[in-house]
Structure 1
Amino acid sequence: MTAALTATNDRLWQQIRDEAQRAAASDPVFGKSLAGAVLAHDGLAAALADLIGCRLGGNAAEQARFAAFSRDAFQFSPELIEAAGRDLQAIVRNDPAIAGLLAPLLHFKGYVALQAWRVSNWLWHRDQRDAALLFQNEASNVLQVSIHPAASIGSSVYLDHATGVVIGANVVIGDAVTILQNVSIGRSTELPPRSPRIGRGVFIGAGATILGDVRIGDFARIGADTIVTSDVPGGCTAVGNPARLINCPEPASAA
């Protein structure tokens, strides 16, 4: 990890600790849980590993196992923590109801599910595939977010509400993408099977479905309940079933 990256992560963690200390001082009852979840840890990696363990594990032994996998991933690939920090900051930027980092860290299941996926993806690429699929299965059961370990997802990603989200194997999602609830992104039934590629800064509305060998261009918007089975050019908005294009920056054919 570079010195600049370490300094950035340290500043982010200090901000989270400062928020936790203020919250604990104003609410002693809540402060007891903050002591274990935040203030007892020396960095975001340790806190996040325990948080993943607590959310995915059904008992103490399972919690310890999920936390141990997560600690290993964060130790050997510190870029996962950089991505986790960017994801957390993206929530604050995109959600007008959120004013700080502490609440989404502790209470937003979409954030925990995404970080659990980052660990599962790390495991998948190190041939620990049974463990990777275990992460996916438990995140699906407990958090209602199912992301295949073989997917590829950038940073600064926000899973808003994060109920009923399904992202299939080999899907590619770029940086700064926002995905609302009940979204499905995956392969179609056509052969050979291909998975969608989602560009940077894309917004995907609630209930949308994106299937097959399609590309969603940078900064496109997919409306609620839209069914996308063809490319959407960058900057365009796709709405309806079947999808049609509106508000494109340049003339574009129907999706």
Structure 2
Amino acid sequence: MAEAATKASDDLWQKVRSEAQRAAAADPVFGKALAGSILAHDDFAAALADLIGQRLGGSATERARFTSFSRDAFHGEPSVIEAAARDLRAIALRDPAIADLLPPLLHYKGYVALQAWRVSSWLWRHDHRDAALLFQNEASNVLQISIHPAASIGSSVYLDHATGIVIGANVVIADEVTILQNVSIGRHSELPARSPRIGRGVYIGGGATILGDISIGDFARIGADAVVTSDIPAGCTAVGNPARLTNCPEPASAA
């Protein structure tokens, strides 16, 4: 498994480097930045760790600390860097505005915030909880995206635009989910205070709120500004406040 993960991220890294080399040749000024952020590194893990450090750290000491923690996570658990590679590929597949890997790696703050969360989750699971919360706090301050390290998030996840996203503790998000800006997912104020579970391939529109001990079925769609406090069947669309179902598959509509 570790070897497969390494190969996948290595393949992605070669494509990123090729894109960086072409961009550097086309624009020598931009090429200087690429030389430091991409071409100076030996692999994807090193480049991504450095990128996280640069985005979250305000001083040289802070940048070094965030970079070091990120390297530890990527080397300690190869599946973390493999998930990061899948997230990057997912953006190129699902964002109609781009086709390459380099722009989202360098410029999409939702991507950086998600990878910073992957490091914080690794730290949390290895009982480095103060460091994990530090990652969450800095990502919230700098990138305006707050994801609790005790959340669980799959791979091929895309945080599009991303400003204002809040994902609380113990939220479960499956693979291939897309989340737009100003989305809140977390516990309801009522007891028992349990968190939502988001299925595979779910699309969550901007400004949506998903609260409580509920399940969002695979490939459901949550409309912009919808407020969801009850289960959404697989394949259905939920719109409005309170959310109502539409465009459900036949069995779900009948139910």
Fold-level similarity (TM above 0.5): yes
Aligned to 2:121: 121
Aligned to 1:75: 75
Aligned to 2:233: 233
Distance in 2 (CA, whole Å) between partners of 1:185 and 1:193 is: 13
Cα offset for 1:47?
0.3
Identity %: 78
- SS of the residue aligned with 1:150? coil
Cα offset for 1:251?
4.3
Is there any run of 5+ residues in structure 1 with no aligned partner, and where?
none
CA-based RMSD of the aligned residues comes to 1.3
Aligned to 1:156: 156
After superposition, where does 1:1-255 map in structure 2 within 5 Å? 2-252=2-252
Partner letter of residue 143 of structure 2? Answer: L
- SS of the residue aligned with 1:248? coil
Cα offset for 1:74?
0.5
Distance in 2 (CA, whole Å) between partners of 1:221 and 1:47 is: 34
Alignment deviations for residues 97-154 of structure 1 (CA, whole Å, 9 cap, x no partner): 1110000000000000000000000000111100000000000000000000000000
Distance in 1 (CA, whole Å) between partners of 2:77 and 2:92 is: 25
- SS of the residue aligned with 1:213? coil
Contact 1:216 1:234 (C-alpha < 8 Å) held by counterparts = yes
Is there any run of 5+ residues in structure 2 with no aligned partner, and where?
none
Partner letter of residue 155 of structure 1? Answer: S
- SS of the residue aligned with 2:235? coil
Matched length: 255
Instruction: Please report the TM-score for the alignment, with normalisation by the length of structure 1.
Output: 0.98
- SS of the residue aligned with 1:161? coil
Cα offset for 1:9?
1.7
- SS of the residue aligned with 1:20? helix
Cα offset for 1:254?
11
Cα offset for 1:2?
3.7
Distance in 2 (CA, whole Å) between partners of 1:108 and 1:218 is: 26
Contact 2:24 2:34 (C-alpha < 8 Å) held by counterparts = yes
Instruction: Please report the TM-score for the alignment, with normalisation by the length of structure 2.
Output: 0.98
Partner letter of residue 21 of structure 1? Answer: Q
